[in-house]
């Protein structure tokens, strides 16, 4: 058992406990101000999956199954509480990992603070969306992999757990698949051995293959979704000019209308009424449309490679790291990422699988589920959100910190290996970079996609400034500073 911490030992964690307490209080205020949940357009698809699980053609069903597991409680309040606990848990994992590697308490607290205190992170946790669960799974998997110190590799059992968590993340958001590949690459870089690489691969791939088989049984093809072509078309619709592309006749209908500078954002064009994708509420994109859209998109990239690179680069390097937020991809979507002044009415569009937003959410909640705005709690969070968030330019600085630390170590010649230095930093850093880059490359930029990358960027920055080298690292089973393990005479 764990002994009671003496006050002197507990004092070393006091700054973090204060920040953690503030983060918890902010989340309780949010739940009091906006019960039972905040809603996004995608939310109702997930809730519909939870009512009767099926592999949705547009969105992976992982988050819907998470909601399905909680459905017997008929409580969206419980769902939001768990998501807020996940947000706090992410902050705790960052702090514990960095303290384990020897970072001072103030440094580990600083790294965890953006997750715990950022108003947009807290608002995202109150939304019925997959992002918080996805982030928790990703951080948990990476924490498992980087937990051993001194250049040691995780055990086979922990490798299998990490692979399984990454597979669940992929089934929650498909962008988890590149992160699974990055984890395999990290183990190879660390020379962890083929057994450990194989454990991550098998535990990561088997659930994904099983889901693809389920998807095939219902939707007629082996995949996780069938919208990759449609979304890539939307990406190219921002710049595509058919006078340059000269598409074959069967693809000409996908030519975007108007001048590129006058068009809607890429993601907005996919869902617009009258779009070449043929989108209709309550329906999904058929396989032929998805295939033709993908063919057009590839033709557009081939004919206009510089325009494609320019479009992606602007989203990755300007929108992501700009000081302020643009109303992108539209003012309507941007407002959904803010604490509202008034409750948004449930829209009347049909939801794929049956029902509409009001009926689907009511069936899950076993009663009306429209967001209620309750003051003074709601007004407090609206004011807090205006000032307490991580600007894009600061995130850019956080991502540059590992390079600064590496340069300093190179100058002082203190870099003695990759176990607690470059090797362990690369995994969370490349994962953060992938989460920031892949959506603009394949779909479009969205601010909520950036939020998921923040914890990984902060973890990488903290690990980069750890001074412990593999030769002097403590044993991997050493306790967190301030925690005493049980002595044999106290065990029972």
Q: Which residues of the chain have pLDDT under 50?
A: 1-2, 414-421, 469-492
Residue 120 to residue 118: CA distance in whole angstroms: 6
User: What is the model's pLDDT at position 272?
Assistant: 84
Residue 149 to residue 420: CA distance in whole angstroms: 7
pTM (two decimals): 0.91
4 — phi, psi (to 5°)?
-65, 135
Collect all residues with Cβ–Cβ distance below 8 Å to 374 and sequence separation of at least 6. Answer: 32, 33, 34, 35
Chain-centroid distance, C-alpha 169: 9
Residue 280 to residue 269: CA distance in whole angstroms: 13
User: What is the model's pLDDT at position 356?
Assistant: 94
Q: What is the C-alpha R_g of the chain? A: 23
User: What is the model's pLDDT at position 379?
Assistant: 97
Distances (CA, A) of 444 to 20, 133, 154, 320, 415: 33, 21, 36, 12, 38
Residue 122: HSE in the Cβ half-sphere, 13 Å Cα cutoff: 29
Q: Is 49 in contact with 64 (CB distance < 8 Å)?
A: yes
User: What is the model's pLDDT at position 378?
Assistant: 97
252-261 contacts, C-beta under 8 A, 24 or more apart: 254/292, 254/293, 254/296
Q: Write down the residue that tokens 């003695």 correspond to.
A: 416
> Given CA atoms 281, 283, 288, 294 in this order, what sign does their dihedral have?
positive
**In the chain, what are the domain boundaries?**
7-223+331-487, 228-319
The model's pLDDT over 310-341, given as tens digits with 9 standing for 90+, comes to 999 999 999 999 988 889 999 999 999 999 99
User: What is the model's pLDDT at position 12?
Assistant: 76
The model's pLDDT over 391-402, given as tens digits with 9 standing for 90+, comes to 999 999 999 999
């Amino acid at each position: 058992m764990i002994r009671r911490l003496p006050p002197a030992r507990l004092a070393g964690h006091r700054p973090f406990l204060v920040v953690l307490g503030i983060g918890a209080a902010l989340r309780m205020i949010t739940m009091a101000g906006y019960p039972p949940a905040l809603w996004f357009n995608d939310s109702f698809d997930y809730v519909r999956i939870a009512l009767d699980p099926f592999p949705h053609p547009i969105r992976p069903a992982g988050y819907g199954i998470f909601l399905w597991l909680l459905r017997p409680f008929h409580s969206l309040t419980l769902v939001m509480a768990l998501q807020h606990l996940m947000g706090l848990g992410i902050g705790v994992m960052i702090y514990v990992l960095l303290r384990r590697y020897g970072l001072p308490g103030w440094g580990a607290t600083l790294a965890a603070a953006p997750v715990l205190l950022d108003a947009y992170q807290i608002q995202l946790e109150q939304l019925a969306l997959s992002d918080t669960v996805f982030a928790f799974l990703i951080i948990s998997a990476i924490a498992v992999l980087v937990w051993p110190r001194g250049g040691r590799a995780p055990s086979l059992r922990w490798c299998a757990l990490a692979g399984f968590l990454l597979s669940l993340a992929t089934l929650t958001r498909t962008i988890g698949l590149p992160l699974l590949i990055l984890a395999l690459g990290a183990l190879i870089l660390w020379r962890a051995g083929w057994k450990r690489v194989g454990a991550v691969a098998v535990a990561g791939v088997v659930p994904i293959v099983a889901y693809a088989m389920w998807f095939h049984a219902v939707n007629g093809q082996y995949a996780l979704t069938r919208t990759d072509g449609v979304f890539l078309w939307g990406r190219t619709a921002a710049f595509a000019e058919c006078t340059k592309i000269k598409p074959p006749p069967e693809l000409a209908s996908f030519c975007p209308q108007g001048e590129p500078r006058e068009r809607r954002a890429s993601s907005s064009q996919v869902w617009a009424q009258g779009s070449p994708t043929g989108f209709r509420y309550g329906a999904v994109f058929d396989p032929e449309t998805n295939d033709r859209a993908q063919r057009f998109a590839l033709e557009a990239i081939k004919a206009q490679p510089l325009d494609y690179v320019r479009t992606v680069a602007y989203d990755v390097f300007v929108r992501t790291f700009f000081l302020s937020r643009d109303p992108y991809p539209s003012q309507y979507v941007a407002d959904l990422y803010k604490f509202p002044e008034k409750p948004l009415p449930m829209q009347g569009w049909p939801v794929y699988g049956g029902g509409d937003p009001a009926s689907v959410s009511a069936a899950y909640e076993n009663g009306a589920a429209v967001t209620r705005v309750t003051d003074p709690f709601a007004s407090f969070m609206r004011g807090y959100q205006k000032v307490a968030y991580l600007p894009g330019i600061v995130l850019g600085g956080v991502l540059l910190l590992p390079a600064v630390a590496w340069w300093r170590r190179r100058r002082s010649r203190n870099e003695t290996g990759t176990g607690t230095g470059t090797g362990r930093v690369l995994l969370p850093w490349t994962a953060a970079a992938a989460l920031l880059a892949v959506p603009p490359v394949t779909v479009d930029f969205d601010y909520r996609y950036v939020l998921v990358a923040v914890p990984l960027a902060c973890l990488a920055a903290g690990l980069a400034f750890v001074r412990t080298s593999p030769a002097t690292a403590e044993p991997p089973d050493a306790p967190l500073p301030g925690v005493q393990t049980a002595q044999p005479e106290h065990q029972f």
